[in-house]
Amino acid sequence: QVQLVESGGGLVQAGGSLRLSCVASGSTFSFNAVGWFRQGPGKQRELVASISSGGTTKYEDSVKGRFTISRDNAKNTVYLQMNSLKPEDTAVYYCNRVQRIGGAPFGSWGQGTQVTVSS
């Protein structure tokens, strides 16, 4: 059973940057596509970026050009580099395996990491 732990969130001013990490334990997820999701206050959880096992990426329109997803299979880790952050990026960020890039999640969720962007 794959367990996922997200980290790297925090409080940052608008225009700032953060790098989130998602570490898998219990099993490798190097053969899976992985996505970063976020859930803002009063909103549904949404997929913002995903990466295939081979490194192909896909982004939600609102983060294109600002966020970069990457992975290090040797470390069983997926990253989300977030630049030019905006207050509307404030959310709890989660990672999970996805059926394919841009696809539905499967497996257990981690606890997430809070990102707060102040104006």
pLDDT band, very low/low/confident/very high, at 2 (cuts 50, 70, 90): confident
Maximum CA extent, the chain: 40
Q: What are phi and psi of 103, to 5 degrees?
A: -95, -175
Q: How far apart are CA 108 and CA 95, in angstroms?
A: 10
Residue-wise pLDDT for 57-99, tens only, equals 999 999 999 999 999 999 999 999 999 999 999 999 999 999 9
Please answer whether residues 20 and 13 qualify as being in contact, where contact means their C-beta atoms are separated by less than 8 angstroms: no
* The pLDDT value given to residue 71: 97
